[in-house]
Amino acid sequence: MNFPRIRPSTVERGPLAVLVLCASLVLIALSSRGLWMFGVGMSVLLVLTVAMGVDGRSPYRWLCAWIGYRRGHGMRHAELVRVPELSEVEVAAGVCGIRHVGDVLVAMIQLVPNLDLPTVIADATIYTEDTVPLSVLLPLRDQYGVSIDLEIVTTGSRTRSTGHYTMLYDQLIGATAVVGSRVTWLVARLDERRNLAALSKRGPVVAVAPGALATAAHRIATRLREQGIGAHPLPAAALSDALRLLHAGVELDDLREQWSCLQSSVAGRVVTSFFVDWAQLGVAGLATCWATNRGHTTVVVPVTDEVGARRVLVRYVGPPVSAVRHRYLRSLPGCQGTALQASLAGEVTVSRLAGTHDSGQDPWPAALAIPIGPNGQVLGALEGRPRHALALPLYDPAGYNPRRRTVEVHAKLSVAQQIVLRATAVGAEVEVHTDRPDGWRHLIAAVGDPGSLRLVAEHATVTDGDAASITVFDHVTPRATTAQTSIVISDPGGPRTGGADLVIDQVSGSAVDISMPTRTVRVDLIEPRGETRYLNPTPDQRELTTAHANAMPVGSTPDGDIRSGETDGSGNVYRRGS
């Protein structure tokens, strides 16, 4: 059983002064009637309403939250459904989209993932170098006298939300925080009131403020690029798309605010926001939040060095998530509508929302770094290290100015199809050009979703909404495509073209070499039980199925050695060549 967490709260001076005054008056009044003991008790109770915290809030804050929840439904709903007011501002450095929310202006800077950096998945942790350190961002808040509030907002999901194969792939990644699709932005806010003195020196605030924020956004992006982190301020059209992506999975006008979540009209789909309790996080750190939910996850990290504002907001869209089950989550009852606004790059900030909770003494990591891009799909287990798997993104999920790349796969058809199949599981839309369509029909029929995997010749009337993110050229000459990634498939041992960003060479029945710009690694192929039914029953597939195997699911922590051919309770199998 989990009991409420009761501990001393950070004392708020204003409410404390009022309550001390009231307690003194009560004590004087009761003492004059000989009830001084009762007066002392009442005075102590009044002081405790602001001095003690219950689940991160003092009784005074609980009362304020209840009153605000009961009285603010209509206003918060109107704010959520209001169409964003956007403008395109052109400055010397380029154009930048600006969102106008009262006296606050908002710009978004897209952080570009480094798709050449792999992710290593261990028993309890995952490691990637594709990150942005907070220490790099802290000095960028001051832009020549103009104070800019910065937040890192990252959103994505571990797997595609639909499809039978997605459930199989979900067994493969287990409880690890392997994020198949993720996009990250740096949100820059300019508060006109707080910067009134600095802005008024440049001219009328209404006229100069948008240009000041646009210039600051380009300057911040330039500084990040100097640090090796790709960054681009979003123009107005891309800003509008990003704002829509931030509430993927739900429509804002469809939400009904409740005490502990926002309910949608779709059964089993709710929006729930939490603060993160750093003291309760395990060795995986903030990545733990991505393993909690199977739907859409959004994490907001304020760029600040103020202890009271060090709060990370995590928002889940999907099945209900319980803070009782996950002790590192601090529930926000009565504040779910405001918390949703704080995750949508508007006027409300996480630091402002943190003012409703006890700041405590959470151990904010000194070297906190936030992952930028997706971890991608699991390709296999590192050779000689069966408890460490390798994941790599094959395409850039960003909607604005995505990175284009070419991947060469020199492998048998079954191995190439396994790579393509897992790309669909993490969200890719794949179209296949091939001179052997019969070899693909079994896989496409098993997937059963032309929007995620299709033969071009058989699905020529695809809508714009299903535009491919990956185009596969199987034994045909590659040609120009609008997809972010081109995958060129040829037989094992085939010649390299020399212009590929990533090369995958099959070296045995169950192992491949992955050649990245920075390194080449060998991995042993992995398959969850049941994956073979999606692939063609060719001789090379039977060779893979009967290969020497080590059984261990990604993210498990087994005791002792695992014998060849064993499986876990979920049916996941690691296969390793001899």
How confident is the model over 472-520, as pLDDT tens digits?
A: 999 999 999 999 999 999 999 988 888 899 999 999 988 999 999 989 9
How confident is the model over 388-411, as pLDDT tens digits?
A: 999 999 999 998 999 999 999 999
| Beta strands in 400-456, from DSSP E residues, in sequence order | 405-410, 430-434, 453-455
The structural domains of the chain, with segments of one domain joined by +, span: 6-71, 73-371, 377-548
Q: What is the pLDDT of residue 559?
A: 33
Q: What are phi and psi of 342, to 5 degrees?
A: -70, -15
How confident is the model over 316-351, as pLDDT tens digits?
A: 999 888 776 788 898 888 889 999 999 999 999 998
Q: Which CATH class is domain 377-548?
A: alpha beta
Q: What is the pLDDT of residue 81?
A: 82
Contacts for 160 with CB less than 8 Å, ≥ 6 apart: 166, 180, 424, 425, 426, 427, 452
Secondary structure (3-state) at 308:
helix
Q: What is the pLDDT of residue 230?
A: 96
More confident residue, 10 or 563: 10
Mean pLDDT of 297-305: 93
DSSP symbols for 357-376: S--TT----TT-EEE-S---
Q: What is the pLDDT of residue 85?
A: 94
DSSP symbols for 107-149: EEEEEEP-TTS-EEE-SS-EEES-EEEHHHHGGGGEETTEE-E
Q: What is the pLDDT of residue 463?
A: 43
Q: What is the pLDDT of residue 267?
A: 86
Q: How confident is the model at residue 41 (pLDDT cuts 50, 70, 90)?
A: low
User: Cα–Cα distance between 502 and 510 in angstroms, integer?
Assistant: 19
Q: What is the pLDDT of residue 400?
A: 92
Q: What is the pLDDT of residue 27?
A: 62
How confident is the model over 418-463, as pLDDT tens digits?
A: 999 999 999 999 999 999 999 999 999 999 888 899 998 754 544 4
Instruction: Report CA-CA distances (Å) from 576 to 38, 330, 512, 516, 573.
Output: 75, 42, 11, 22, 10
Instruction: Report CA-CA distances (Å) from 334 to 66, 312, 330.
Output: 6, 18, 13
Q: What is the pLDDT of residue 7?
A: 55
The lowest-confidence range among 17-26, 46-55, 192-201, 264-273 is 46-55
